[in-house]
């Protein structure tokens, strides 16, 4: 994550909610972040975890530890159905453990699109936050990340293909508890807004984070 920066990704509307905030009688024990690749789930999730003194976890990291293979290897060697089964199993494990220690969890771009996973999360009552941004911005962020990591991502070979998948998945993401735009906003601003919307108490922060990546 970048150090403190005053720059933003690009101009974008401020926070908007796509649906009423979920009613609750007590503070949640977990927050789940969903959205397309490049939306800032990992950077925002890590910042939010620090502010709340909660564990931050990327679900793909848990899958890789359990499978002892990278996500790319699972897809290549076993196929997407095998990955989705591993993803669903890992999600069940996370939900079973949130009562022991609160955490912020970032889901892979396709996780919430799976109907069974979406229903599991909704039935658990945990807040699900959709981090959104214009597709052109998501494309630019992903291209920058791939270039810096010297990694090849098949979806980055075509903006049209990238846009098509984004349009296909976005209606599923919009079923989340709360939608927040990340475009043109810093990581701290987004994390602070999520905590405020959910009524979560944050620790004092002596330093600020950089931009969404």
2 lies in a domain?
A: no
25 lies in a domain?
A: no
pTM (2 d.p.): 0.81
33 DSSP β-pair partners: 106, 129
Residue 175 token pair: 């079923």
Q: Domain total for the chain? A: 1
Instruction: State the Cα–Cα distance between residues 211 and 157, nearest whole angstrom.
Output: 25
130 lies in a domain?
A: yes
The dihedrals phi and psi of 57, each to the nearest 5 degrees, come to -140, 135
Instruction: State the Cα–Cα distance between residues 148 and 157, nearest whole angstrom.
Output: 16
pLDDT reported for residue 98: 86
21 lies in a domain?
A: no
Q: What is the pLDDT of residues 187-200, one digit of tens each?
A: 999 999 999 999 99
Q: HSE on the CB side for 22, CA within 13 Å?
A: 21
97 lies in a domain?
A: yes
Range of the domain at 167: 30-198
16, 50, 153, 157, 200 from 150: Cα distances, Å: 34, 28, 10, 14, 38
Q: Has residue 167 got a pLDDT over 50?
A: yes
Contact 76, 84 (CB under 8 A): no
| Nearest partner of 186 among 213, 208, 212, judged by Cα | 212
95 lies in a domain?
A: yes
CATH number of the domain residue 132 falls in: 3.40.50.300
Query: CB within 8 A of 163, min separation 6: which ones?
Result: 135, 139
62 lies in a domain?
A: yes
Q: In what order do the strands lie in the sheet with 128-132?
A: 55-58, 103-106, 30-34, 128-132, 178-181
Q: What is the pLDDT of residues 112-128, one digit of tens each?
A: 999 999 999 999 999 99
Q: HSE on the CB side for 153, CA within 13 Å?
A: 20
86 lies in a domain?
A: yes
Q: What is the pLDDT of residues 43-92, one digit of tens each?
A: 999 999 999 999 999 999 999 999 999 998 999 999 999 999 999 999 99
Contact 175, 18 (CB under 8 A): no
């Amino acid at each position: 994550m970048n150090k403190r920066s005053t720059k933003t990704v690009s101009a974008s509307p401020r926070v908007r909610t796509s649906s009423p905030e979920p009613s609750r009688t007590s503070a949640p024990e977990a927050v789940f972040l969903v959205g397309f690749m490049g939306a800032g789930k990992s950077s925002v999730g890590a910042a939010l975890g620090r502010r709340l003194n909660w564990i931050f976890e990327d679900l793909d990291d848990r899958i890789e530890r359990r499978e002892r293979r990278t996500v790319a290897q699972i897809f290549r060697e076993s196929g997407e159905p095998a990955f989705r089964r591993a993803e669903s199993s890992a999600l069940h494990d996370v939900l079973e453990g949130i009562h022991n220690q609160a955490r912020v969890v970032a889901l892979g771009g396709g996780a919430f699109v799976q109907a069974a996973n979406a229903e599991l999360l909704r039935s658990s009552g945990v807040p699900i936050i959709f981090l959104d941004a214009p597709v052109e911005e998501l494309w630019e962020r992903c291209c920058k990340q791939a270039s810096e990591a010297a990694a090849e991502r098949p979806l980055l070979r075509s903006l049209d293909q990238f846009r098509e998948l984004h349009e296909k998945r976005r209606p599923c993401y919009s079923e989340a508890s709360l939608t927040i735009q990340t475009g043109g906003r810093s990581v701290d601003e987004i994390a602070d807004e999520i905590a405020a919307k959910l009524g979560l108490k944050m620790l004092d922060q002596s330093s600020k984070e950089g931009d969404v990546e």
